[in-house]
Amino acid sequence: MGNDALKTFIEIGERRLRGGSLTPEQYLCIGRMLEEGSLDAEAMEGLRAGTLEYQQALDSRYRWEQEAATLSYGRAWSGVLPISDQIQVLQTHVSTFDASSVIKRAQEVGSRAWPRPHGIGIHVRPTLKALASALDVSKRDWPLENQALLSIIRILKRTRNDVTDEANERYCPDYCRFDPSCVQHLLEMDGRCSGNLVVFLAQLGMYYRGFSPRRARIFYTSTERGLDPISAACILLTHPTRLCADDCLWMDCSGATHKGVPWSFSWRDGTLRFPTSTDFGRDKNPDFSRSGTATYHVV
pLDDT tens profile 39-98: 998 999 999 898 999 999 999 999 999 999 889 999 999 899 999 899 989 988 876 566
> Is 99 in a helix, a strand, or coil?
helix
How many whole angstroms separate alpha carbon 188 and alpha carbon 205? 23
- C-alpha dist (Å) from residue 102 to 18, 87, 123, 126, 200: 58, 9, 11, 11, 11
Task: Determine the pLDDT at residue 96.
Answer: 58
Instruction: Write the CA distances from 71 to 115, 208, 299, integer angstroms.
Output: 26, 12, 29
pLDDT at 255 over 90: yes
pTM over 0.85: yes
pLDDT over threshold 80, residue 2: no
Task: Say if residue 136's pLDDT is above 80.
Answer: no
Residue 298 zone, left/alpha/beta (φ > 0; ψ -120 to 50; rest)? beta
The residue extents of the domains of the chain are 3-61, 83-297
Q: Between 204 and 8, where is the model more confident?
A: 204
Inter-residue contact 162 to 244 (CB < 8 Å): yes
Per-residue pLDDT at 142 exceeds 60: yes
